[in-house]
Structure 1
Amino acid sequence: MNLHIIVNGRVQGVGFRFTTKQKAIDYDLKGWVKNLSNGSVELEIEGNDLQVEDFLSELKEGFNPFIKVNEVHIIKEAAGHKGYKNFEIR
């Protein structure tokens, strides 16, 4: 499964990208995460369905007390997998 995600809330300046990368590695997911100029964060993840769903559950909770997730917009990519080799912060 491959998902393209936009996260809104208190997600910049609170370690969100670093924590996202660590959690993605924990779940053996591949892809990337980056800050957007409007204060939201964009990411793309791919991996098996169960790992992706578990990751999403944690992401929606905010990973840690400093992060406040207000909205999560998810687009399921039709391609399935793009073949990312690792997870990176862009």
Structure 2
Amino acid sequence: MPKTSIAAYVYGRVQGVGFRFATQQQANGLGLTGYAKNLDDGGVEVIACGEQQQIDQLLDWLRQGGPKHAKVDKLLTEPRAVAEYQGFGICH
């Protein structure tokens, strides 16, 4: 299947609660590549590359609130050009 890529911007209580680490674990389990990165405005940017079905599963998990201590208030997505990443990382 062809690969696709998205950028997701997640807002709410998503910094300081293990959100990037949990997103990394979820994405790795789905076979996705990309990264999760804290933003200066308090949100988290998630870039995910892989098959659409797995990306949709990650987005569903994000919409449901992500990890236990997080609270997602808003999720914005946009398509991105497919890029090659080595696994799914956490950017600082």
2:64 counterpart of 1:61: yes
Alpha-carbon separation, structure 2, partners of 1:21 and 1:64? 11
Which consecutive segments of 4 or more residues in structure 1 shift more than 2 A? none
Tell me the TM-score normalised to structure 1 length: 0.92
Structure 2, unaligned runs of 5 or more: none
Question: Shift of the alpha carbon at 1:5?
Answer: 1.1
Q: How many residues align?
A: 88
Match of residue 54 from structure 2: 51
1:87 maps to: 88
Uncovered stretches (5+) of structure 1, i.e. residues with no partner: none
SS of structure 1 residue aligned to 2:89:
strand
* C-alpha RMSD of the superposition: 0.9
Q: TM-score, normalised by structure 2?
A: 0.90
The DSSP-based 3-state class of the residue aligned with 1:73 is strand
Give the share of equivalent positions with the same residue, in percent: 38
1:37 and 1:64 map into 2 onto residues whose CA distance is 21
